[in-house]
Amino acid sequence: MSSFTSENAPANTPGDPSGAVADLTTDRLILRAWTPAEADAVRRGVRLDHWAGDFPAEGDQVIAGLFDANPAWLGAHGHRQIIERDSGLVVGSLGLFWPPADGLVEIGYGIVESRRGRGYAPEAVRALTAFAFTAPGVHTVHAHVEPSNPPSIRVLEKAGYQQWEGPSQGSAEDGEVLSYRAVPPAGS
């Protein structure tokens, strides 16, 4: 099963003096919050030993460059590195673009090319989506994807997302952006 369990849900709360963000763990992955030092290494182009050879990808570089302007992205409901449990290597990242707006929160994700096709992205998206629904007031987790990116569409569909007429994201170069969403589990 690829969703997180309550014993590995992040424990930090507004009153938590440590500020630590607990990992989310799935069958094959660990979703760990970025540290400021790792974000700085990405921005400066410094390679760290615990990264896959092709990490960071372009999207990871963009996100790391936005952390200073979006400090909530480094919190419990923000962005995380995707770590392959077997190797201990960072193989991608994903995150929630926190804080939510009117109960909606957007998710983004990426896996480095060397680890694509293994099902890591849907596994990570399912786990972070389930975690997002534990946050007060979140009723929809959504993503935007260009129709010219079928692999990303498959990730969302495998993670249980469905296409919907969600909030506008502007337009892609080809003029169209698709919206997908996950709905909270029954009883939430």
Helix (H), strand (E), coil (C) string for the chain: CCCCCHHHCCCCCCCCCCCCCCCEECCCEEEEECCHHHHHHHHHCCCCCCECCCCCCHHHHHHHHHCCCCHHHHCCCCEEEEEECCCCCEEEEEEECCCCECCEEEEEEEECHHHCCCCHHHHHHHHHHHHHCCCCCCCEEEEEECCCCHHHHHHHHHCCCEEECCCCCCCCCCCCCEEEEECCCCCC
Could you count the other beta carbons within 10 Å of the beta carbon of residue 146?
17
**What average pLDDT does this structure show over 113-138?**
96
- E strand or H helix at 162: strand 162-164
What was the pLDDT predicted at 8? 40
What was the pLDDT predicted at 184? 80
What was the pLDDT predicted at 20? 78
**What average pLDDT does this structure show over 155-169?**
87
**What average pLDDT does this structure show over 90-96?**
98
What was the pLDDT predicted at 17? 37
What was the pLDDT predicted at 180? 97
What is the per-residue pLDDT across 31-86, written as a single tens digit (0 to 9) for each? Answer: 999 999 999 999 999 999 999 999 999 999 999 999 999 999 999 999 999 999 99
Q: Calculate helix-pair angle for 150-158, 120-132, nearest 10 degrees.
A: 50
**What average pLDDT does this structure show over 139-168?**
93
Q: Name the pLDDT band for 93 (thresholds 50, 70, 90).
A: very high
What is the value of pTM for the model shown?
A: 0.86
What was the pLDDT predicted at 188? 57
What was the pLDDT predicted at 12? 36
Q: Name the pLDDT band for 185 (thresholds 50, 70, 90).
A: confident
β partners of residue 164: 179
